[in-house]
A = this chain, B = another copy of it.
Amino acid sequence: MKVIFNPDGKTVDVPPGTSVLEAATAVGLRLNSPCGGEGICGNCRILIPQNPPPPGAADRKFISKEDLKRGLRLACQTEIVRPLTIIVPYESRALEQKILSETKEGATLLNPAISKHFFSLAPPSISDQRSDTDRIREALEAGGLSAQIPLPLLRDLAQSIRAGDFKFTAALAEKRFLAIEPGDTTNKNFGVAVDLGTTTVVGYLLDLTKGRQLAVAARTNPQVPFGDDVVSRIASVQKDPTSLDQLQSLASSCINEIIDELCQKADISSQAIYELTLVGNTTMSHLFLGINPTSIAQAPYTAVVRGAVNVRAGELGVRISPAGNIYTMPNIAGFLGGDTIGVALSSGIYQSDGIKLAVDVGTNGELLLGTSERLICCSCAAGPAFEGARIACGMRATEGAIERVRIDKDVHLSVLGGGEPVGLCGTGLVDAVAGLLDAGIIHPTGKINQREELSGLPPALQERIIPREKGNSFLLARTKGREPTADGPRARDILLTQRDVRELQLAKGAIFAGLQVLKKELGVSDDDIEELLLAGAFGNYLRPESARRIGLLPPIPSARMKFIGNAAGAGAKLVLLNKDFRQIAERLSQEIEYIELAGRSDFQQIFAEAMLFPGE
């Protein structure tokens, strides 16, 4: 039975009776199935748009009637009995600790900046005493190439080319030598694309001879102790200029750890990685390059560098091939960086005829609105609430995080990894507030109501409202005892506090207000927006209905919404796989119009309104 998985376009033949989950695994697609295919977690949802098989009991348990009608099924419960075309939503893909590490790749013609060439030269003799560089230059010219050999490679050039008896492979980046290796190593040409997030760093290892992704690895950004958000990291540099060096080397060493893991997973040498492309917000890329970013945080918030920077890996302490190239994506402005260019590139919004809106919610929220004719953008200081920080029981979306909350007569939780809950991550927070708004427990102003104001409420919910001095809290879960203490595991309450709701209001208000300004600037309404593209780890796990309910996203129906995964990281891959995208990136970084919210007299008013929750 032939099965096609979209949007990946992967095809596999399987015997009848194979489950969709098994078939997906067979082609290297890893679905989110913490229960191991038992049909009890409800995570491995796939869409069979045409003639879906009748739903089973587990399907009916986890999937709404409406969605069942659309063809949504659990992959582990669906047996293949005839050829199928299956769509795997991004939400259903298994990801390293729920960090979004897979990216949609557009149809990319492979055209990397790095090329490798094998040479077999005549050795020198007393009648041919050409220098080694002349010998190589002339061989290059014979092949229509020309390139400079930088000093670090010159230093043991004679030894390198003699080690292989004048047979060697050169790795070239445009007009520059990156490496010279004995023998023919043209089949070993790798690159790493890095998304250097304020909170999370993701690296992708790509085979530049085949355009194939070999491995993914992620880490928490070790700069976090210097501040949760970019402004506090800049402040730490301002307070103590020596921390700039520390922040730079923390970024490099984090990337080195990721590279080590990637190399181990794919069983390659880091010396065969000749280029690393990096996206990040303007502050993150400045810090990675060791550029003092203090001007970004002071009015009028200017970046030091807008354009792409190319620099030798050795200069930044990044352990790929030492003369290898590091390319950082161009920025747009002080608060809109190469990550947004990455989103613009990989989402294709820059080529769109109709109006599209791309939303990338991380510690900062970036919004892009427009068409191929005109693209405007802004940056919203959402803060780290969506990543679980500054939330009383907040945590990142790792094992033990409550990632989904449904409220009817009681509270129903879905926990990452399926075990006991440890804390609340961003999507769970949005779900919880949305559910509590529906239940009337949270007032549109954001206040958690008193128990006595909610007499009609099911008792199970009423009991969860816990009065506190600075406003009420809502009990999401009482753990049986996971918290390790000196006296053994301890039970612990997972609460949503009044302050958490306020943090969320600030975060969602910042993004929603930014969107209002962009729409006003472009003169469009929600109805004019053809497609809402949700990017980023958080965006991809967000329940659209919850996001709309709390007023984080505009009331655009799900049919016009698209999850585009780690679009910033996908942009880093695009420029790695095809250097032509670097020209587009450069053009976009100059053409995308940056709307400075701080510069608008109407912003405070819009922001104040945006902090309220929709009234129902």
A191 to chain B, nearest CB (A): 20
**A154-B309, A333-B129 given as contacts; is B302 within 8 A of A124 (CB)?**
yes
**A302-B130, A306-B133 given as contacts; is B125 within 8 A of A155 (CB)?**
no
Stretch at the interface among A78-86, A112-120, A594-602: A594-602
Give A4 to B334 CA distance when docked, in angstroms: 63
Task: Mark out the residues of chain A between 141 and 172 whose CB falls within 8 Å of any chain B CB in the assembled complex.
Answer: 151, 154-159, 162
Question: A328-349 interface mask toward B, CB cutoff 8 Å, 1 = contact, 0 = none?
Answer: 0001011000000000000000
23 pairs from A and B in contact (CB 8 Å cutoff): A124-B300, A125-B300, A126-B299, A128-B300, A129-B300, A129-B302, A129-B596, A130-B302, A130-B306, A132-B295, A132-B304, A151-B309, A151-B311, A154-B305, A155-B244, A155-B290, A155-B291, A155-B292, A157-B305, A158-B294, A158-B295, A158-B302, A162-B295
Contact of A596 among B126, B130, B294, B295 (CB under 8 A): B126
Contacts of A496 in B (CB 8 A): none
Contacts of A292 in B (CB 8 A): 155-159
Contacts of A302 in B (CB 8 A): 124, 129-132, 158
Closest B residue to A296 by CB, please name it: B158
A303 to chain B, nearest CB (A): 4
Contact of A290 among B151, B290, B599 (CB under 8 A): B151
**A132-B305, A151-B311, A304-B132 given as contacts; is B126 within 8 A of A291 (CB)?**
no
Beyond A129-B334, A154-B289, list 11 extra A-B contacts (CB 8 Å). Answer: A126-B301, A126-B599, A131-B304, A131-B331, A131-B333, A134-B306, A151-B290, A154-B291, A154-B304, A157-B292, A157-B305
**A132-B305, A156-B292, A295-B132 given as contacts; is B127 within 8 A of A599 (CB)?**
yes
Task: Mark out the residues of chain A between 307 and 327 whose CB falls within 8 Å of any chain B CB in the assembled complex.
Answer: 307, 309, 311, 315
Contact of A151 among B294, B315, B333, B334 (CB under 8 A): B315
Contact of A131 among B132, B289, B303 (CB under 8 A): B303
**A290-B155, A315-B151 given as contacts; is B131 within 8 A of A598 (CB)?**
no
B129 & A304 in contact (Cβ 8 Å cutoff): no
A304 & B126 in contact (Cβ 8 Å cutoff): no
Give A334 to B131 CA distance when docked, in angstroms: 8
Chain A interface bracket (under 10, 10 to 19, 20 to 34, 35 or more):
35 or more
Contacts of A124 in B (CB 8 A): 300, 302
- Which of A126, A131, A133, A159 gathers most chain B CB within 10 Å? A131
**A158-B292, A291-B155, A309-B151 given as contacts; is B126 within 8 A of A598 (CB)?**
yes
Contact of A301 among B129, B162, B596 (CB under 8 A): B129
A162 to chain B, nearest CB (A): 8
A151 & B599 in contact (Cβ 8 Å cutoff): no
Contacts of A133 in B (CB 8 A): 304-307
Contacts of A158 in B (CB 8 A): 292, 294-295, 302, 304
Give A305 to B134 CA distance when docked, in angstroms: 7
Contacts of A331 in B (CB 8 A): 131
Give A331 to B129 CA distance when docked, in angstroms: 12
Give A127 to B300 CA distance when docked, in angstroms: 8
A486 to chain B, nearest CB (A): 47
Closest B residue to A135 by CB, please name it: B302
Closest B residue to A295 by CB, please name it: B158
Closest B residue to A125 by CB, please name it: B300
Contact of A129 among B134, B157, B289, B594 (CB under 8 A): B594
Give A134 to B334 CA distance when docked, in angstroms: 12
Give A418 to B250 CA distance when docked, in angstroms: 64
Contacts of A131 in B (CB 8 A): 302-306, 331, 333-334
Give A134 to B151 CA distance when docked, in angstroms: 30
B599 & A157 in contact (Cβ 8 Å cutoff): no
Contacts of A294 in B (CB 8 A): 158-159
A602 to chain B, nearest CB (A): 15
Give A490 to B180 CA distance when docked, in angstroms: 60
Give A172 to B589 CA distance when docked, in angstroms: 26
Closest B residue to A332 by CB, please name it: B131
Give A49 to B16 CA distance when docked, in angstroms: 111
Question: A269-300 interface mask toward B, CB cutoff 8 Å, 1 = contact, 0 = none?
Answer: 00000000000000000000111101100011
